[in-house]
Chain A
């Protein structure tokens, strides 16, 4: 009994934490380049619906995943154009992108509500998956779960160990200096926002292709916003984002477990857990985290014609 609960809780934390991690990495990359994107929720929804539709038509979740990533990237470029090229307010443009994503995904997915797919297959790691408790919890997941931590590590490596990453961080800290060093901040921001869109699309696709295996309007339920909070929690560091995503995945999973066990508490009160936890964590760590924020976060570089 206890072993079963521990196993489901651990496994659930990992599965729920995976889309959060991809989304957090997407937001983290944008913010490292100085752009706050509140529209991630919309990007995730577009990724979720496009991935789902592509999977329904081709029967291949791999094609769905690629389509979701591309759709997320292209969709995020609308946001990039408005905030980078047109220098619009990032928060307002982000919320607008969210609305656009909610509406577009509803329009695209209307005919697919209720469709069923096989989704991303579960890949069992031989031998390890047969270990008691830990086995099924850690080694029987879909490919996106296994890839999540390596992608976080890759994000860290790109940001802190490559020239391009250096320029991304330079643009986020001080775009004028980056410009003086010979790199166009606008080009860098376009590139980053495309990559972030791809990650956001994949985050959404994990929900529709691996977790729910169906499409429902607004199925992300605020995970895009939780990711924004997680970026602050992780003090803009990709590896700490892994811990954050696991913690919040744990909160979502705990709530599901308590409901499954029939704990006499309203599911709506339990649903509050991730949001209240986000707030509590920020209230405790937030003050210190602010100093880690990229220097020109939210500002607009106006140097080039």
Chain B
């Protein structure tokens, strides 16, 4: 009798464990949407029309849905860029800069090695993008490992340096001579463009992002490396006394995180832009950081939160066109969602 009730309770518990977070997330989302509607009304806009526009341009049509998936690729990768170092309490706010450096390195290969066969060229571009973003982040890692500069502030400052570096190149040495006044490089050769899936703009980058999420989740849970990472995350002092080289892990985690953001940059220039432009990213790196926090670093949570923010990001483009609202207004919607989620997780640090 007693046993049976325990079993039933356990089963109930499993069901609840799956349903409760979803229900809670939906409730939080509803609060956030209501708050944003109130802000829009305050400025004399019709929130219902704005939401209708966002919905019809993202989830309401096949094309819109594919565009949402397009935005998911860089968001998942930059979220991982924050989530991986966060495993050992490193705060990487530099996804944006790492994305730009990755794009820059991939562009170098696309321009200078354009004659190579496509498969080889894309592999080199991805490798260089990963390496560039990774090394860029590893600078912040090295400054942190030597106890000099907090990685939070160094990654933030390096975002500006990276974006200026890309601006310097596309306005200067790498400028397309036929681009008249547009700051951009020459168009990539066909071999430097990532393959798309079935006539949409959804590209291989999304597959890469999902694979990277799964591989990292597996490595953290099942390998010796993952065990040591979890040991450092659990108690850095105890890990150090057990002979785990913490400084090396600081460098490695920053490198992997930065590399993933660099990969996002490579995918964006290759598949979406087809050339390097300063308008490469509408702040994917920062959004990625916030996605990672919303999801608490959990892999499935990252994919889910990236989907929500992808809808918001894609919806921003349409609000700009139909409602004559400035494009950065979606930042408010994103911020409201995040405030509600962050405020709900009281006490979590």
Query: Which A positions have Cβ atoms within 8 angstroms of B?
Result: 38, 78, 81-82, 86-89, 91-93, 95-100, 102-104, 106-108, 110, 217-218, 221-222, 225-226, 228-229, 232, 266, 268-269, 271-272, 275-276, 278-279, 282-284, 286-287, 290, 299-300, 302
Contact = CB atoms under 8 A, between A and B. Distances in A.
Interface in B246-288: 283, 286
Interface in B35-56: 39, 43
Which 7 pairs of residues, A with B, have the shortest CB-CB distance?
A: A103-B331, A100-B335, A103-B332, A268-B168, A88-B342, A86-B343, A92-B293
Contacts of B347: 87, 300, 302
B212 interface: no
A266 B168 contact: yes
Given A266-B172, A269-B168, A279-B154, A107 B343 contact: no
Contacts of B39: 104, 107
Contacts of B333: 103
Interface of B: 39, 43, 91, 93, 143, 146-150, 152-154, 156-158, 160-161, 164-165, 167-168, 171-172, 283, 286, 289-290, 293, 325-336, 338-339, 342-349
A233 B37 CA distance: 42
B339 A93 contact: yes
Q: Interface centre among A217, A225, A284, A290, by most B CB within 10 Å?
A: A225
Contacts of A299: 349
B134 to A, nearest CB: 18
A224 B293 CA distance: 22
Contact of A89 (B164, B168, B172, B342): B342
A217 B335 contact: no
Q: At the interface, is chain A mostly helix, strand, loop or mixed?
A: helix
Contacts of A98: 286
B137 to A, nearest CB: 14
Given A268-B167, A271-B164, A287-B148, A100 B331 contact: yes
B157 A107 contact: no
A107 B332 contact: yes
Given A102-B328, A266-B172, A95 B43 contact: no
Nearest to B40: A107
Contacts of A287: 146-148
A264 to B, nearest CB: 11
B149 A282 contact: yes
